[in-house]
Every structure is written in structure tokens, then in C-alpha cells.
Amino acid sequence: MNNKHELPISEETRKFLESKHLLFINGEWIESSSGEIIPVVDPATEEKIAEVQSGTKDDIDLAVRSARNALEAEWSKIPSHDRAQILHRLSDEIEANFSVLSELEVLDNGMPMQLAQYSIASHGVTLLRYFASWAPKIHGKTIPVSPGGVMNGDSLTYTKREPIGVVGAIIPWNSPLIFAILKLAPALAAGCTVVLKPAELTPLTALYFAHLIEKSGIPKGVVNIVTGFGETAGDALAKHEDVDKITFTGSTEVGKKIVSSSVGNLKKVTLELGGKSPVVVFNDADLEKTIPGVARACFFLQGQNCMAGTRVFVHEDIHDELVEGVKNMAEAFQIGHGLIQTNDFGPLISGDQRNRVMKYIKQGISEGATLVCGGHETNEKGFFIEPTIFTDVTADMAIARDEIFGPVLCIEKFNNESLEAIAKRANETTYGLSGSVWTNDIATGHRMAALIDSGQVSINCHAAVDPAIPFGGNKQSGWGREFGEEGLGAYLKTKATTVIY
Ligand code: NAI
Ligand code: MG
């Protein structure tokens, strides 16, 4: 545990934290109509580091109106090459402000600095550039049709791909800036305008990003950012009759609420929800690569990751060796404040989340799983829980069933069961987001990958993420796909036109 050093932050970060944080609507910075604020807490110290506005339904109304006006006035009509160039300029701004964004992300979310830097540089910037480059490549098709009926002459049918309209984006706290970019990049490339509601627990990088949006030349009203609680600002956005689409990442529980909120105007909905992803390790796997891979699959972001590989199924021949190896890795993590570069394991996001995870750990013990390591909170300030491993886990236990969203790895054994039998166990979950297979046998790898019921499977790695790889969930892990061409398509609507001549 290493929290005691003077925390190294830049003057620019300090200045931003001390400034007054407002709502960003129609290119202006304004106060919320609530007159109320939400404290922002550093989860590694439990200290308040800033205050943001608690946005209301009225603030959301104003933001949606501004997004609608910007859509009609300008953004959807700007030549796509110019849209691309503006988005590339925004990427340049992220690169130029990389260290402040990284520091704010660490302070707000608790993630280790190495991870913040990696995710902003490797995911944030590349995501934005990837979708910027799509903007001029959006086009329809010409479609040959059979004459007959009303089409009793020569005819031409063509499609156009148009922006879906005003997008409401509601994002979680586990990777705040990346989620903001993941929603904004394809929406803006497609020509949509956006109202973004960051998570109440982690609003800071989105607000800093708004300043970069201003600098990049994106017209006023194209992006609006309303901080606030889910039950108020989030709910108002999801129900708004003038929002054409909601894109949401968060819990399955709230995802279901979003669906019912969308019914009023039947707005389109993309959902990226929870997971309980399987990791299947065969006895021919290369343990030198598999052990760190399995440890990272679960403990990345302290397990607060929808793709986390939290259910390991391992062949009994190598069970003990794998458990020992992953335990050694778990115990080697440097737990502490993310701003200290050598720390690689941060706190959970909040006291509530820590208590929720501790409840599951206690339940795992009382239901008869074997605690191999971890299982404790650290005694100092901050919402820290040690990386925790359970063996002898069975499918009926709560720790094997529910998305814990914390550093809790559950290990089960298999023997010489058929691939179908192993897959049946791996698929015994209401979720279907990610998964991985570890083996040196190509045929086993592909066969097992085909049997896992999830939107994404990796062989000999876990959670391969790239702007070009479609990502999303089967079953209760979501609706639709993000990233890649399919992710862009979620912000477009097709219009077919036919001419008879
Ligand atoms: P949440 O789903 O409540 O929060 C996600 C976003 O939804 C936040 O911006 C929140 O303000 C908003 N929201 C909440 N209620 C809303 C409503 N009624 N209408 C519209 N927007 C609403 O997640 P929470 O409560 O922070 O975490 C609880 C659990 O959810 C976690 O333990 C984890 O299991 C899961 N989760 C999954 C995530 C993922 O990436 N799939 C991300 C965050 C949480
Ligand atoms: Mg919630």
C-alpha cells in the first residue's frame, strides 16, 4: 500500500480542479437550474477534489434543443471531409493535453497512471482518428430491382446513409474518457449531434474534453455535456421525445430502464451492459503466457470492467499450477494511488462499490468456495480491496453468477469433458459479452471459441479491443455493437429512393 507520497500533479490539472465546473450547453458554460452540486471524490484518498453541477430535466431540455438546432443548422450539412478534419483536430488536442487528461482520469476514477496513459493514447486517440477517417467514406448503394407493380419502366433505386439525429449518450465511471470518446466519435463522424451525460462519479475528463471540443472548431451545440445523476438527468435524456437515439453503457438493470424510457417516441437504443465472461484454459496452454493473461483478464481496472474474465474453467491437470501462478501475480500487484507510477492496482470507484464487493466475498466464503488469496479491504483511506481468488467455485454460487465488478476471480475445474460440455458450463450465465480460450491446439481454440455464446471471444489473449473490432453483447449483455463499421452504422439511418423513368 503506497499512498503517502506527495501526489504529483501538474499546475494545469490543479487549476482545472479548482475552477468552477458548469454545464456545457450550446457552446456556453452555464449553471444548472437545480442550484445544486455533486461532490467529486478521489477514490484513492476519499477526499473531495471538485464539485460539478447536478443537471436537471430543464437542463436536459435546453441541451436537447441546442443539439437539435445544431443538427439542422449546420453539422449534418458540413462536407464530410471537413467533419473528418475537425475530428482529427480534436484528436490533436487530446494528444496535446494528454498529461492533464491522464492525471484527471487517475484522480477521478482511481485507475493506475500507466493504464490511464495507455488507454487515452491507444484507445482514445485511435478511436477518434478511426471514426474521423470514416466520415468521408459513408455512402449508400445503388440497388437493381425487378420491374413490376408500380415500377413498370426503367428504374433506379439508390440508398443514402443519413445521420440518425440527436443522440443522448449515457456513460459509466469505469473508463470515463474512453466511453465519452467511444460515443462521440462515431456519432460526430456520422453527422449526429450529442447530449452527453457522464457518470456522476467521474465527470471531470468529459468536462475538460469540452474545452478541447471548443478549441477544435466543432460548432456550438454539436456536443452538449450535462453532468448529473442517473435518476434525474439520465432519466430525462432517456425519456426525451426529441432525442432520436440513446447509446448507453452501464448496468443491465439500468439498461432495462432505458429500454422502457425509450418507448415514448420509440427512439433507437444501443446498450452495452454487464458481463460475467468465461476464460477456458486447456491443459496444453502455454502457462507462461496464460498465467499473466488470466490475471490481467480479471484484475485489469480492479475488475471494474464489463469484459473482465471472472470465471475461469481450467483443466484439472494444470489447475494447481495455474492457481499458484495467478496467486503470485495477484500478490505482486502494487496497491495504491494511481498517480504514483509504480502502483498498478487502484481503489474501487466508491464506498458503495467496495461494500458491494466485500458482501460478495463474504458470501463466497459462506457458500463454501476456497479463498486462495486476498479478500480484505486495506485499512488505510481509499476504497481498496485486495485482488481476490476463489477456487472450488460452483455455478450456483452468487460469486459465479452475478457481475461483481470488483477484483474477484472464480476458478472451476474440468477434466476430459467434451468441448460442448465445457461450453455449456461457460455459457451458464445470463450475460454474453466477452470470453477467452487458452490452448496451443488451433482446432480446439477455434471450436471452443465458436461454442462460447458471446459477442467477442479471444484465443490466447482476453478482451482484444481495437477501434475496428465490433464489440457488444449477446443475451443480457446488450443490444447492438460498438466500434468498427457496425458501430458507425448505429448512428446512421438508411433512406431508399426510387425513380422510374
Ligand atoms: P449505472 O448503470 O447505474 O450507471 C451508469 C450510467 O447510467 C451513469 O451515468 C448513471 O448516472 C446512469 N443512470 C443510472 N440510472 C439511470 C436511469 N434511471 N436512467 C438513465 N440513466 C441512469 O451503474 P452503477 O450504479 O454505477 O454501477 C452498478 C453496477 O453496474 C456495477 O457494479 C456493475 O456491475 C455495473 N456496471 C457495468 C458497467 C459496464 O461497463 N458494463 C459500467 C458501470 C457499472
Ligand atoms: Mg446505479
For the ranges 22-31, 55-64, 72-81, 357-366, which has the lowest average pLDDT? 72-81
Q: Where in the chain is the domain with CATH 3.40.605.10?
A: 9-273+478-497
pLDDT at 1: 47
Element (H, E) at 448: helix 442-451
Whole-number Å distance, alpha carbon 270 to ligand 1 midpoint, is 14
Q: Give the mean model confidence (pLDDT) for residues 108-116.
A: 98
Pocket test for ligand 1, best of 251, 259, 454, 482 (most atoms within 8 A of CB): 251
Taking the mean position of all CA atoms in its chain, how far away is CA 22? 24
**Structure-derived torsion over alpha carbons of residues 22, 24, 26, 27, reported in degrees to the nearest 10:** 90
Question: What would the grid cell of residue 289 be?
Answer: 503466457
Residue 28 φ/ψ, nearest 5 degrees = -110, 155
Instruction: Kindly list the protein residues whose Cβ atom lies closer than 6 A to any atom of ligand 1.
Output: 170-174, 197, 199-200, 229-231, 234-235, 238, 249-251, 254, 257-258, 273-274, 306, 403, 405
**pLDDT band at residue 4 using 50, 70 and 90 as cut-offs:** very low
Q: What is the pLDDT of residues 181-210, one digit of tens each?
A: 999 999 999 999 999 999 999 999 999 999
| Average pLDDT of the residues of the chain | 97
Let me know if domain 9-273+478-497 sits in CATH 2.60.120.650. no
Domain 278-466: state its class.
alpha beta
Question: DSSP code of 345?
Answer: B
Query: How do residues 203-224 score in pLDDT, each as one tens digit?
Result: 999 999 999 999 999 999 999 9
CB of 420 within 8 A of CB of 450?
no
pLDDT > 90 in the chain, percent? 95
Q: How far apart are CA 391 and CA 371, in angstroms?
A: 7
